[in-house]
Structure 1
Amino acid sequence: MATREDVTFPSGTDRISAWLYRPDDVGPRGAPLLVMAHGLGAVRTMRLDAYAERFADAGYACLVFDYRNFGDSGGAPRQVLDVGMQLADWAAAVDFAHTLAGVDPARIGLWGTSFGGGHVIATAARLPVAAVVAQCPFTDGIASARTIPPLTTAKITLLAARDLLAARLGNPPVLVATAGRPGEVALMSTPDSYPGYLKLMPEDKPARNEVAARIGMKILGYRPGRQAAKVTCPILFCVCETDSVAPAEPTLRYAAQAPRGTVKRYPEGHFDIYVGDAFERVIADQLEFLDRNLKASAA
């Protein structure tokens, strides 16, 4: 049976908290490893353990981390989501993975979902990794912003301006809900967002459903899908056809530009893929891709 231990590693001046899963059999060259992290304001306890357990049982080591300012990782102010910092956390995690005993440094891959699905595209375009899985990935800030009603966008913009002023004055962040019901002021407020978000929450320790509002002004400029053409390793795009927060159309367009891209499509929404039958189907597809492109490279 695979084992899990708590580990930490540095990113900037802070410490990142992570789970390290190790499979039973690492082999003479060491095990292939997946670096894994979540999406917008989410933390590893929101179902990433379910994925990592399945991967570890199939022979993969997994390094599953929380971004700085979130979850069990260090950093302050809390709940501040900064794209540049999160990309630096991915790079730090990859660096740390290369130092781990029992891991094959030539077979380190990335697995990211939602906002983290965009991050793995951007990271693989810059760093040498062996394979990538981008699940229901956020690929285009403009496309995602269009899923938010104009009145809600205006209210988020006002909160973001207040938050940026608070940061300049050294005051605590002004927060906005990550997920909310239709009509509520939240970064995700489509009909499936709030119930879908709740499905990911662990019952014993619910995560904070809020982030610093400043990301509302910066998210438009983040279009990691544009970097898919620069990803030279095999990359799997798991696309939800009825995705209400990370629309499928731009993702499919960007995926077609990846030199070694593979696309799997699912007739579900953004949050459905984490649970139930959709979870089983996506895990099977991801393991088939990884076995072919990451595990098989040991030969």
Structure 2
Amino acid sequence: MTRRDVEFDAEGTTLRGWFYRAEGATGRAPTIVLAHGFSAVKEMYLDRYAEHFAAAGLNALVFDNRNFGASDGEPRQEIDPVAQVRDYRHAITYATTLDEVDATRIGVWGSSYSGGHVLVVGAIDRRVKAVVSQVPMVSGSKNIGELVRADFRAGFREMFDADRAARYVGDPPAMVPVVAEDPLAPSALPTPDSWTWFTETGKLRAPSWRNEVTLRTVEMLGEYEPEAYIARISPTPLLMVVAREDHLTPAHLAIDAYERAREPKALEILPGGHFDAYVDDFDLAGTVARDWFVRHLT
């Protein structure tokens, strides 16, 4: 397979990534658009998924989210989920301009935070003909309710309000770690497996990853409700891949949301935890996603 660096305009912000050419393709081929989850950059195993898809005759367009990695955007390290949804749509538009891409056969893949994004994109953008949502964050408010102790939430609200006032007078945004070794210390993703995966994967594969996001990122997470769109994805085929031992985006929340989706749909349960989808359970996660796209796009 061949991979080339690409960049495209997202209404004034340049996003950068990789385009993988489908193996054996001589003309226009189906294409999968992929972006990563909360604060992660494309080097954190998205190449494995793209290679897996390309080997099956599917093009893959992988890009870094705005404000992260190789992509432009300010403020750095800020995640606006609505902007990231729009950027998936910009990426689809860019893909359809490429000679190798069949614009009538576009799929979207997302994982964790972007697993929620593709639920929204699949519901509102009919250019999408197949959706794979892996270990998705389906409800910001419910997810925070699972991860953050009730007696800590008032303190976060005070921090959000103080940050809003400071930004108003021109101060830089307050920052918070993505992960912390102590799960009770302030961080955006307060689980032990989050600390292990991000720190180890950052050292191993992604030196551009930074262990910080803006405080407002956490506020916007709590406002984001992808599950509100899930019944609107139909008749676009939806595959949801859930990890049985997921404590970061709890499996029961994803399965509850899946039950509200309409046909055609399918559910795959991975045996491990949230981050096993990228490593120990990759063979299963990557294969079921690949097969879903092959079935519905080829």
Asked if Structure 1 and Structure 2 have the same fold, meaning a TM-score greater than 0.5 normalized by the shorter chain, the answer is yes
Within 5 A, what are the aligned runs for 1:173-252? 173-181=173-181, 182-201=183-202, 203=204, 205-232=207-234, 233-252=236-255
Give the CA deviation at 1:169: 2.3
Evaluate the alpha carbon distance shift between residue 67 and residue 166 of structure 1 in structure 2; reply closer, same or farther with a 3 A threshold.
Answer: farther
SS at match of 1:125: helix
CA distance in 1, matches of 2:184, 2:90: 38
Within 5 A, what are the aligned runs for 1:104-143? 104-128=102-126, 129-143=128-142
Quote the residue 1:79 is aligned against: 77
Give the CA deviation at 1:273: 1.2
CA distance in 1, matches of 2:213, 2:82: 16
- Aligned residue pairs total 292
Within 5 A, what are the aligned runs for 1:53-68? 53-68=51-66
Q: 1:148, 1:190 within 8 Å by CA — same for their partners in 2?
A: no
Quote the residue 2:170 is aligned against: 170
Letter in 2 for 1:191: P
Q: 2:8, 2:16 within 8 Å by CA — same for their partners in 1?
A: yes
Structure 1 stretches of at least 4 aligned residues deviating more than 6 Å after TM superposition? none
CA distance in 2, matches of 1:179, 1:168: 27
SS at match of 2:260: coil
CA distance in 2, matches of 1:165, 1:69: 22
Q: Which moved more, 1:167-176 or 1:144-153?
A: 144-153
Letter in 1 for 2:217: I
Aligned alpha-carbon RMSD (Å): 1.6
CA distance in 1, matches of 2:46, 2:143: 23
SS at match of 1:192: helix
Give the CA deviation at 1:134: 0.5
CA distance in 1, matches of 2:203, 2:109: 21
CA distance in 1, matches of 2:114, 2:48: 17
SS at match of 1:196: helix
CA distance in 1, matches of 2:58, 2:201: 23
Give the CA deviation at 1:230: 0.3
What TM-score do the two structures reach when normalised by structure 2?
A: 0.93
What TM-score do the two structures reach when normalised by structure 1?
A: 0.92
Q: 2:23, 2:56 within 8 Å by CA — same for their partners in 1?
A: no
Percent sequence identity over matched residues?
35
Give the CA deviation at 1:171: 2.3
SS at match of 2:274: coil
CA distance in 2, matches of 1:170, 1:68: 22
Q: 1:44, 1:66 within 8 Å by CA — same for their partners in 2?
A: yes
Quote the residue 1:10 is aligned against: 9
- Are 2:256 and 1:257 equivalent residues in the alignment? no
Q: 2:2, 2:20 within 8 Å by CA — same for their partners in 1?
A: yes
Give the CA deviation at 1:267: 2.2
Long gaps (5+) in structure 1: none
Q: 1:148, 1:187 within 8 Å by CA — same for their partners in 2?
A: no
CA distance in 2, matches of 1:166, 1:69: 21
Q: 1:167, 1:173 within 8 Å by CA — same for their partners in 2?
A: yes
Evaluate the alpha carbon distance shift between residue 101 and residue 218 of structure 1 in structure 2; reply closer, same or farther with a 3 A threshold.
Answer: same
Q: 1:157, 1:216 within 8 Å by CA — same for their partners in 2?
A: no
